[in-house]
A = this chain, B = another copy of it.
């Protein structure tokens, strides 16, 4: 669907009325439980955007946004709409409230969000889709690296063996 709005997409939508994406993550099965709770509404894809993605993501109590990670070439940004997630970076932890935002330039600190409260968290996340990106997971035996033959990214262990 990239580059083409879904047929019959209206000019604008209520973000919460967009269907939750069926696939939770493409990460290897051992890591899946840690991100299984998150629910993403792919707002950018809905309108046919190709250069960046925008998701409205919900974290229930105990859920995490992602594994602790850092992109090599892609930037990321989050804006909290509801609830009080904890931002975890290599510099420490920061409690967030609605209306707060954080940006993660390529190659900067690794990061993720955790919902340690009893209420849902809702946030907007933006990430570009620039070519040649790799993902480092400093706390896990995991990396997302391009296949030299195809350029498609694959999950590998830190010794280079594929998951």
Binding site for B on A (CB under 8 A): 3-5, 10-16, 43-44, 46-52, 54, 74-75, 77, 79, 87, 89, 91-92, 94, 96-97, 99-106, 108-109, 124, 126, 128, 130
Contact = CB atoms under 8 A, between A and B. Distances in A.
Contacts of A14: 97, 99-100
Given A15-B99, A102-B11, A130 B89 contact: no
A11 B75 CA distance: 15
Given A15-B99, A49-B105, 6 more contacts: A15-B100, A15-B101, A46-B103, A48-B103, A52-B52, A54-B79
Nearest to A74: B51
A128 B47 contact: no
A56 to B, nearest CB: 8
Instruction: List the number of copies, as a whole number.
Output: 2
B100 A12 contact: yes
B124 A87 contact: no
Nearest to A2: B105
Contact of A43 (B12, B77, B94): B77
